[in-house]
């Protein structure tokens, strides 16, 4: 029987209380060597909803699983129709104050690295360098047969040509770039194959039910080992792909700090959780450190680069 991936968790016992004082983050960042681990919550202020917060997309939407994508041509049709429409909005998203603050911390030498669970590319657009995309990125696609990579903007152009006039109105856009469409709206949407071998194209992201490449996991573990502390930003840490690094840091004696308005699965491993919106919290932290948070290093979103 096919198992569904873990999409939610239920706290046991009384969750540790959060605080609205960002002082502990100021103290830890001021010493440097901090590894940032970010989740969907850091992108909500850019107009991209999260999965599990108030009004999160999982209340109405089950993300595509790797198993369904591989096994079912109709599932792939639904996915690409919804993802193609979502890309028009998702690809125009701009970094917010939280992304810009992380980039500023990096420019001032306070970070040992940035690991993001997000696939939106907004950390890079804000100017952060060397970002590890734990779950990949929506700005590129890969052929499952010949493993050829190509830009998402190229696929978007090909899908536009194959589906002229496709412009349904989506109910919402989800954190994975998937638009909410009915089967009637999907209709007979045409999926295009790999131009190199005719194989099946997949976004270069880790679907639910798919494993993060082991070499990427080991790279992240090494970043944890080399860091003085781990700062979690906007992640519920529900899935093990991110939680394992929090557990590792706690086991190895590095302090873990979490900025997330709601309780997380990693709270018991953290020295504190700051229950504030990311933009507000990180702008305050930057101000106390004498760091300016601006958008001078921000780049256009991937869809804007091609005038979409």
CB 173 within 8 A of CB 51: no
Q: Determine whether 135 is an active site residue.
A: yes
Q: Does any domain span residue 278?
A: yes
The answer to whether residue 107 is domain-embedded is yes
Q: How far apart are CA 124 and CA 109, in angstroms?
A: 16
Range of the domain at 134: 23-306
Q: What is the DSSP letter of 274?
A: E
pLDDT in tens, 237-262: 998 999 999 999 999 999 999 999 99
Cα distances (Å, whole numbers) of residue 212 to 85, 139, 140, 242, 306: 26, 18, 16, 10, 30
Domain count, the chain: 1
Catalytic residue among 84, 99, 123, 135: 135
12 domain-assigned: no
pLDDT, tens digit, for every residue of 16-75? 678 999 999 999 999 999 999 999 999 999 988 775 455 444 444 577 899 999 999 999
Rounded average pLDDT over 105-125: 96
Q: Residue 50 annotated as binding?
A: yes
Q: Is residue 129 part of a domain?
A: yes
Residue 170 located in a structural domain: yes
Say if 11 falls within a structural domain: no
56 labelled ligand-binding: yes
Residues 146-196: tens digit of each pLDDT: 999 999 999 999 999 999 988 887 767 776 777 888 889 888 999 999 999
Q: Is residue 258 part of a domain?
A: yes
5 in any annotated domain: no
Q: Known binder of ligand: residue 143?
A: yes
43 is in an annotated binding site: yes
| CATH number, domain containing residue 207 | 3.40.50.1220
């Amino acid at each position: 029987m096919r198992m569904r991936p873990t999409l939610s968790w239920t706290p046991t016992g009384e969750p540790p209380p959060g605080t609205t004082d960002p002082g502990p983050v100021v103290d830890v960042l001021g010493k440097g060597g901090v590894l940032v681990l970010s989740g969907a919550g850091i992108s909500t202020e850019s107009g991209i909803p999260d999965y599990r917060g108030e009004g999160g997309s999982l209340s109405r939407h089950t993300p595509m699983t790797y198993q369904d994508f591989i096994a079912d041509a109709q599932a792939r049709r639904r996915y690409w129709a919804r993802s193609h429409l979502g890309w028009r909005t998702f690809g125009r998203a701009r970094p917010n104050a939280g992304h810009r603050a992380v980039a500023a911390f990096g420019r001032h030498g306070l970070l040992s690295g940035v690991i993001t669970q997000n696939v939106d590319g907004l950390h890079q657009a804000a100017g952060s360098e060397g970002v590890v995309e734990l779950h990949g990125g929506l700005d590129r696609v890969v052929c499952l047969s010949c493993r050829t990579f190509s830009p998402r903007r190229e696929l978007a152009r090909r899908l536009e040509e194959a589906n002229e006039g496709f412009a349904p109105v989506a109910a919402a856009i989800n954190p994975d770039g998937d638009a909410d469409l009915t089967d009637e709206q999907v209709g007979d949407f045409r999926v295009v194959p790999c131009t190199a071998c005719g194989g099946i194209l997949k976004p270069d992201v880790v679907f639910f039910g798919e494993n993060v490449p082991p070499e990427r996991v080991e790279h992240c573990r090494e970043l944890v080992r080399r860091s003085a502390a781990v700062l979690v930003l906007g992640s519920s840490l529900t899935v093990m792909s991110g939680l394992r690094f929090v557990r590792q840091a706690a086991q190895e004696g590095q302090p873990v700090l979490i900025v997330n308005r709601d309780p997380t699965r990693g709270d018991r491993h953290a020295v504190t959780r700051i229950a504030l919106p990311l933009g507000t919290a990180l702008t305050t932290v930057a101000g106390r450190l004498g760091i300016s948070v601006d958008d001078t290093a921000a780049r256009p979103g991937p869809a804007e680069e091609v005038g979409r």
